[in-house]
């Protein structure tokens, strides 16, 4: 923290804390309205008694630098002394409040925050456990990498040609015929969605999606003014699309293989039906296919493999299989679209990490990638079986679920509508972090996205038990 107490009697320690806090406010790190850490946290941080902290805070309150609200904590005050500083400082909060991009939902901000803490059990996270990541093999593969000078330079707009060639060969197994010019390397699937949002759609465009959708928990389209419309996949799909589209531009977003968050796999027939319906209305499909390699059993074809009219924008990534930290994904589509989006990518971040691209190329070329995935599938299957047993032992009476077909998730459904923010917060108090269904569908109060991919067996056991306990409490309250 850049602060070391020098013990010269309590009075001095208190004074040092006062100075430390004042400096942060003067320097503008803490602006008016900033909430201070708790007294306990400050005491821990400074290695002093809580009473010393309390005295320092009282002193600052007395001179109007801090103020407290009962039951809610201590804040940097908007007082007369503070006013002096404020006159000199830009009013950052106004800048933030009026800016273009909306903040994440509070629950998602909390998830992002608590995912950083090692003392929390991550029961819903969309990430592989550290021991499922091939860290040792990755370290070894770094030793084998021979870099061309080009690997350290800026990447070309669409990304490394060699990597794009390797990806074309790789997706052939998925029935996809693509040339390197049909591929754009992106910094993960989310960036592909961002590029599509700003590079292909106009304000007010429609994004069709299923009711429960990963897209509701991130905002690549919402933040630039698109309309999200939930649609049922049924016999009337083509008519519904045509009816709702009217004069607007539209796209259809789908995760048809191992859906996030539901884990479902559309049948080949269902995939074809959506493809034909969209083709009829000339609505492009965004096929988010980042989980398909994790299918436990037989493969399920991609919609892109059915595409004979340049209708489907296909997204793949190594984030769910090899390493999210590499930030490498790919977008496959017609050249016109790819060149356009690559142009925007150059204006956004000048391309993805070249080192990351080299690493992914190495793993694809040497066959390490596919070998790793084979082992990973096996591990995930074992974890899934373990969690299903836990659920059977603990939650059979109050919840239901489908056997997972692959990937990370079980879409756990409680019989009673108990999954609200209070439920989420209550579990936090037991150090259990969940992904509640309402971040994927605001009306949903019954589901959670349970991930067997991250937590250890012990954590999963404790987590499911807590889940059971809190669920039963919530059910009682609801009675």
Among positions 299-328, residues that touch a second copy (CB under 8 A) are 307-311, 319, 322-327
Q: Check residue 366 for interaction with a second copy (CB under 8 A).
A: no
Site for a second copy in 53-82 (CB under 8 A): none
Q: Check residue 198 for interaction with a second copy (CB under 8 A).
A: yes
Question: Taking the complex as a whole, how short is the minimal distance between the CB of residue 356 and a second copy, in angstroms?
Answer: 5
Question: Taking the complex as a whole, how short is the minimal distance between the CB of residue 136 and a second copy, in angstroms?
Answer: 8
Task: Choose one: 137-145, 295-303, 377-385, 429-437; the region binding a second copy (CB under 8 A).
Answer: 137-145
Number of residues binding to a second copy, judged by CB under 8 A: 112
Q: Check residue 295 for interaction with a second copy (CB under 8 A).
A: no
Site for a second copy in 209-248 (CB under 8 A): 218-220, 223-224
Rule CB under 8 A: choose which of 203, 458, 478, 479 binds a second copy.
Answer: 203
Site for a second copy in 29-48 (CB under 8 A): 29-31, 34
Rule CB under 8 A: choose which of 359, 418, 448, 450 binds a second copy.
Answer: 359
Rule CB under 8 A: choose which of 109, 232, 297, 443 binds a second copy.
Answer: 109
Question: Taking the complex as a whole, how short is the minimal distance between the CB of residue 358 and a second copy, in angstroms?
Answer: 9
Site for a second copy in 378-437 (CB under 8 A): none
Nearer to a second copy, 234 or 350 (CB): 350
Task: Choose one: 4-12, 259-267, 330-338, 375-383; the region binding a second copy (CB under 8 A).
Answer: 330-338
Nearer to a second copy, 5 or 324 (CB): 324
Question: Taking the complex as a whole, how short is the minimal distance between the CB of residue 217 and a second copy, in angstroms?
Answer: 10
Rule CB under 8 A: choose which of 36, 183, 190, 303 binds a second copy.
Answer: 190
Question: Taking the complex as a whole, how short is the minimal distance between the CB of residue 116 and a second copy, in angstroms?
Answer: 5
Rule CB under 8 A: choose which of 8, 41, 335, 366 binds a second copy.
Answer: 335
Task: Choose one: 275-283, 292-300, 421-429, 441-449; the region binding a second copy (CB under 8 A).
Answer: 275-283
SS3 sequence of the chain: CCCCCCCCCHHHHHHHHHHHHHHHHHHCCCCCCCECCCHHHHHHHHCCCHHHHHHHHHHHHHCCCEEEECCCEEEECCCHHHHHHHHHCCCHHHHHHHCCCCCCCHHHHHHHHHCCCCCCEECCCCCCCHHHCCHHHHHHHHHHCCCCHHHHCCCCCCCCHHHHHHHHHHHHCCCCCCCHHHEEEECCHHHHHHHHHHHHCCCCCEEEECCCCHHHHCCCCHHHCCEEEECCCCCCHHHHHHHHHCCCCEEEEECCCCCCCCCCCCCHHHHHHHHHHHHHHCCCEEEECCCHHHECCCCCCCCHHHCCCCCEEEEEECCCCCCHHHCCEEEECCHHHHHHHHHHHHHHCCCCCHHHHHHHHHHHHCCHHHHHHHHHHHHHHHHHHHHHHHHHHHCCCCEECCCCCECCEEEEEECCCCCCHHHHHHHHHCCEECEEHHHCCCCCCCEEEEECCCCCHHHHHHHHHHHHHHHHHHHHHHC
Question: Taking the complex as a whole, how short is the minimal distance between the CB of residue 343 and a second copy, in angstroms?
Answer: 5
């Amino acid at each position: 923290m850049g602060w070391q107490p020098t013990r010269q009697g309590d009075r001095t320690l208190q004074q040092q804390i006062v100075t430390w806090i004042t400096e942060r406010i003067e320097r503008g790190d803490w602006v008016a309205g900033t909430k201070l850490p708790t007294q306990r946290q400050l005491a821990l941080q400074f290695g002093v008694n809580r009473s010393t902290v309390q005295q320092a805070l009282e002193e600052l309150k007395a001179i109007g630098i801090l103020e407290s609200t009962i039951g809610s904590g201590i804040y940097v005050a908007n007082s007369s002394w503070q006013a002096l500083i404020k006159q000199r400082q830009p009013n950052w909060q106004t800048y933030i409040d009026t800016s273009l991009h909306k903040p994440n939902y509070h629950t998602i901000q909390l998830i992002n925050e608590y995912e950083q803490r090692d003392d929390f059990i991550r029961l819903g996270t969309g990430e592989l456990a550290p021991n499922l990541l091939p860290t040792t093999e990755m370290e070894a593969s770094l030793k084998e990498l021979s870099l061309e000078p080009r690997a350290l330079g800026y990447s070309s707009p669409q990304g490394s040609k060699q990597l794009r060639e390797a990806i074309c060969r790789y997706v052939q197994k998925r029935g996809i015929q693509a040339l390197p010019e049909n591929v754009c390397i992106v910094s993960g699937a989310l960036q592909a969605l961002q590029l599509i949002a700003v590079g292909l759609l106009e304000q007010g465009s429609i994004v069709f999606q299923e009711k429960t959708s990963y897209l509701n928990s991130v905002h690549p389209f919402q933040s630039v003014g698109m309309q999200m419309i939930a649609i049922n996949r049924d016999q009337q799909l083509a008519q519904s699309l045509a009816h709702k589209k009217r004069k607007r531009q539209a796209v259809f977003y789908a995760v048809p293989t191992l859906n996030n968050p539901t884990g479902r796999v559309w049948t080949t027939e269902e995939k074809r039906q959506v493809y034909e319906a969209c083709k009829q209305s000339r609505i492009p499909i965004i096929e988010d296919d980042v989980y398909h390699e994790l299918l436990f059993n037989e493969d399920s074809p991609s919609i892109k493999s059915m595409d004979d009219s340049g209708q489907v924008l296909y997204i793949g990534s190594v984030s769910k299989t090899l390493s999210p930290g590499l930030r490498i994904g790919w977008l496959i589509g017609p050249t016109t679209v790819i060149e356009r989006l690559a142009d925007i990518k150059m204006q956004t971040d000048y391309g993805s990490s070249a080192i990351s691209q080299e690493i992914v190329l190495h793993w694809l070329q040497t066959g390490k990638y596919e070998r790793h995935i084979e082992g990973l599938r096996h591990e995930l299957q074992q974890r899934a079986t373990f969690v299903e047993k836990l659920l059977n032992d603990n939650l059979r009476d109050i919840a239901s679920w489908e056997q997972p077909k692959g990937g990370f998730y079980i879409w756990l459904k409680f019989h009673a509508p108990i999954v609200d923010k209070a439920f989420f917060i209550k579990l936090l108090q037991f150090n259990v972090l969940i992904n509640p269904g309402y971040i994927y569908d605001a009306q949903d109060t019954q589901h959670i996205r349970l991930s067997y991919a991250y937590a250890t067996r012990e954590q999963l056991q404790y987590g499911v038990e807590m889940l059971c306990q809190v669920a039963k409490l919530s059910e009682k309250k609801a009675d």
